[in-house]
């Protein structure tokens, strides 16, 4: 029986691949056999070196996804440098924190631009390529705040709720065209985005008290889910948001 989790011969774009969740997912895909186009605002040198050490092709694609200007170039560079495109992981994202009564238009726009607008247009650019070849896997990184409201992160919550809805819409449109579109909603993961929460003794304790697993997640905890949704194992999974949260949503 063929290995339904094998990604050999596949090319994956991973955005925000230089650190944290993006790096962990890129390396998990590489371990499963995929070649990696590592997209980041700063060069994902370490990620590329580690992927190559696993015997994979890997290339840096520099792009600032706070605007959609580089979107088509990201897809074109991946295809040119690595010979194709089969998987897109939309991971790049930012967060701004402030009370909603004080939240600025600038913080609203930059978060929505990176977390939702660029995600859609990357899906569109990659989707055109994937539909033409009759096969593709898109995985959008959502959030627990795709389901919940959160506190003091109005643009982040709105963007990640939008990511969940967009994932379902694209699945509806593209499922019959050979392209699967799903999402992963990470729980509370130790990354730069959650540093402020972990530094707040009271908030950190409250979070840990609710997580049945009793710990913050590691970025590597997302790897298996990303491989599953990028592999033939998930060919009949469409429009699903898979929570990887230590049991938070079931509490």
Tell me the CATH number at 113: 3.40.50.720
158 within domain boundaries: yes
For residue 100, count CB atoms less than 10 angstroms from its CB and return exposed for 0-12, middle for 13-18, buried for 19 or more.
Answer: exposed
**Contact (Cβ atoms closer than 8 angstroms) between residue 207 and residue 241:** no
Q: How many structural domains compose the chain?
A: 1
**Contact (Cβ atoms closer than 8 angstroms) between residue 41 and residue 52:** no
181 within domain boundaries: yes
148 within domain boundaries: yes
Active site residues: 156
Domain housing 56: 11-242
200 within domain boundaries: yes
3 within domain boundaries: no
User: Tens-digit pLDDT profile for the chain (251 aa)?
Assistant: 579 999 999 999 999 999 999 999 999 999 999 999 999 999 999 999 999 999 999 999 999 999 999 999 999 999 999 999 999 999 999 999 999 999 999 999 999 999 999 999 999 999 999 999 999 999 999 999 999 999 999 999 999 999 999 999 999 999 999 999 999 999 999 988 788 889 999 999 999 999 999 999 999 999 999 999 999 999 999 999 999 999 999 99
117 within domain boundaries: yes
């Amino acid at each position: 029986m063929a290995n339904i989790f094998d990604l050999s011969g596949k090319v994956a774009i991973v955005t925000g691949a230089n650190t944290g969740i993006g790096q962990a997912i890129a390396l998990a895909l590489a371990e499963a056999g995929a070649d990696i186009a590592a997209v980041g605002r700063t060069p994902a040198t370490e990620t590329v070196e580690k992927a190559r050490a696993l015997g994979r092709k890997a290339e840096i694609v520099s792009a600032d996804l706070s605007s959609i200007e580089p979107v088509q170039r990201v897809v074109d560079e991946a295809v040119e440098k690595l010979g194709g495109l089969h998987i897109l992981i939309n991971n790049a994202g930012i967060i701004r924190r402030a009370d909603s009564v004080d939240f600025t238009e600038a913080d609203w726009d930059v978060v929505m631009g990176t977390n939702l607008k660029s995600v859609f247009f990357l899906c569109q650019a990659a989707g055109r390529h994937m539909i033409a070849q009759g096969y593709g896997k898109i995985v959008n990184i959502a959030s627990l705040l795709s389901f919940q409201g959160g506190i003091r992160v109005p643009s982040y919550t709105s963007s990640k709720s939008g990511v969940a809805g967009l994932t379902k819409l694209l699945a509806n449109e593209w499922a019959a065209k050979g392209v699967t579109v799903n999402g992963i909603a990470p729980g509370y993961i130790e990354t730069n985005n959650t540093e402020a929460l972990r530094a707040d003794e009271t908030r950190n304790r409250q979070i840990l008290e609710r997580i049945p697993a009793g710990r913050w997640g590691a970025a590597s905890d997302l790897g298996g889910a990303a491989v599953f949704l990028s592999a033939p194992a998930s060919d009949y999974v469409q429009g699903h948001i898979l929570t990887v949260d230590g049991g938070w949503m079931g509490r």
